[in-house]
Chain A
């Protein structure tokens, strides 16, 4: 009985509040389109990196075979407008908004858009209650989707979205330096050692070739969040800090000499990119976080007109 009444209310609300063409309805439509594009189309910068990596592997090797299938899959997902990978991941939003923006209604619009995108199959029913194992089938639940708001001085609304798969999340990791086992001290050389260790441990899992987001410092929570946030940088966007920029390049080169290769089959391209940044730490701790992203690197961003809530342009 209670269920029935609840359903009615929702229905009424949706016909009254989200009139066709209203900014509210438009916001939901724009967000669904953002989810569709993120789930089905690999961003141009990642696509270029994958195509380049494909050319590097020796022909007729298992590594080349893997890269060819990955590349075909990218083409097919786009044409069919279907998810690149069946694991459509944790849904992570970062919203950059002007001062005075109302967050609560936007959260509701996001929830509606996520539910709609799940119905349309752009997202798999992928969010499970950690205690009961129950899957509501909507991708809504405690802490999901993950939504972060940031105020910026621009007048525009920028919504960035990442779909972070489970396999690559499982191999993402964190270190506390010094790490005696790895002879990693509290300096950039120590950071380099733990990042390389993470890559060797991730082999065969997390669907490589991967991309690394790294954060040096911060507390455990912020450090990992900041590492993941680096994955919103474009491929090839070097750190503004000279030492880190050099380390990013060096880590990619070194990883690609390990011989792990795509899918861990052996071969050249183990890592496509490494994006690093830092946070302050307390003197007693030195945390390094590595967020590992699989080849199915799904992130996109939309610049949205705050009045009409229509899409103005894509960010990637």
Chain B
């Protein structure tokens, strides 16, 4: 188990390899379809994303009487939808990683290599475990996109993920897909 702590350093991220089990402590910014499209269109980010991690997640956020936010469910959403945009967000905004589920394609893999970023896979559907690791909601940006699509700034403590795409061209998704197709040939 590897612990990755805030502030994230690109050197540390470069050391991560496919298959590493990582606990992230520090800060995450959620961002999904609307945010990626917005940044892709060239709008400036309302928050500095340099050396930050973007989490593909549409959290369920509750606001209490005093205006305090809590996250009650926060599983990852399917990442491949951001494939057309992710490389550009890596290039222009200097993020060190993204968290999601299902993995991403060749464009993102290439960008991970070029700009020194990784893809972390969270456990799909584990809404309760993941929500428990979010210790506070520290800010919200682009709220006009609606709650699930906004950028939520979250503090996390030991947020569990697996590196499935690294900055050396390694992709667990590619590996498993190729191996399983090969296995299938022998099994049919």
**B73 x A86 contact (CB < 8 A):** yes
**A69 x B160 contact (CB < 8 A):** yes
In whole angstroms, what is the CA distance A73 to B183 when docked?
31
Q: A167-B124, A204-B102 are in contact. Are A265 and B172 (CB under 8 A)?
A: yes
**B75 x A205 contact (CB < 8 A):** no
Asked whether A65 is an interface residue with its Cβ less than 8 Å from the other chain, the reply is yes
Number of residues of chain B lying within 8 A (CB) of chain A: 37
Q: A62-B162, A265-B162 are in contact. Are A259 and B179 (CB under 8 A)?
A: yes
- What is the chain B residue whose CB lies nearest that of A205? B102
**A84 x B187 contact (CB < 8 A):** no
Asked whether B181 is an interface residue with its Cβ less than 8 Å from the other chain, the reply is yes
**B129 x A200 contact (CB < 8 A):** no
Interface core residue of B121, B123, B164, B188 (most chain A CB under 10 Å): B123
Asked whether B60 is an interface residue with its Cβ less than 8 Å from the other chain, the reply is yes
**B127 x A73 contact (CB < 8 A):** yes
Asked whether A276 is an interface residue with its Cβ less than 8 Å from the other chain, the reply is no
The residues of A that contact B128 with a CB separation of less than 8 Å are 73, 76-77, 80, 82-84
In whole angstroms, what is the CA distance A76 to B132 when docked?
9
The residues of A that contact B176 with a CB separation of less than 8 Å are 203-204, 259-261, 264-266
By DSSP majority rule, is chain A's interface helix, strand, loop, or mixed? loop
In whole angstroms, what is the CA distance A94 to B23 when docked?
42
The residues of B that contact A266 with a CB separation of less than 8 Å are 172, 175-176, 179
Residue among B121, B132, B188 making CB contact with A265, cutoff 8 Å: B121
Asked whether B35 is an interface residue with its Cβ less than 8 Å from the other chain, the reply is no
- What is the chain A residue whose CB lies nearest that of B129? A73
In whole angstroms, what is the CA distance A121 to B128 when docked?
13
**A86 x B75 contact (CB < 8 A):** yes
The residues of A that contact B72 with a CB separation of less than 8 Å are 82, 121
The residues of A that contact B60 with a CB separation of less than 8 Å are 86, 121, 124
In whole angstroms, what is the CA distance A266 to B103 when docked?
13
Asked whether B177 is an interface residue with its Cβ less than 8 Å from the other chain, the reply is yes
Asked whether A290 is an interface residue with its Cβ less than 8 Å from the other chain, the reply is no
In whole angstroms, what is the CA distance A183 to B184 when docked?
13
Name the interface residues of B73-118: CB closer than 8 Å to any CB of A: 73-75, 78, 101-103
The residues of A that contact B59 with a CB separation of less than 8 Å are 86
Asked whether A235 is an interface residue with its Cβ less than 8 Å from the other chain, the reply is no
In whole angstroms, what is the CA distance A264 to B165 when docked?
13
In whole angstroms, what is the CA distance A259 to B186 when docked?
13
In whole angstroms, what is the CA distance A286 to B129 when docked?
43
Contact with A along B43-64 (1 / 0, CB 8 A): 0000000000000001110000
Q: A73-B127, A167-B78 are in contact. Are A260 and B132 (CB under 8 A)?
A: no
- Name A residues whose Cβ lies closer than 8 Å to a Cβ of B: 62, 65-66, 69-70, 72-73, 76-77, 80, 82-87, 121, 124, 165, 167, 183, 192-193, 196-197, 200, 203-205, 207, 254, 257-261, 263-266, 294-296
Write 5 A-B pairs (CB below 8 A) sorted by A numbering. Answer: A65-B162, A72-B126, A82-B73, A260-B180, A266-B172
Closest 9 CB pairs of A and B: A86-B73, A207-B124, A85-B125, A76-B128, A73-B126, A86-B127, A296-B125, A69-B123, A73-B129
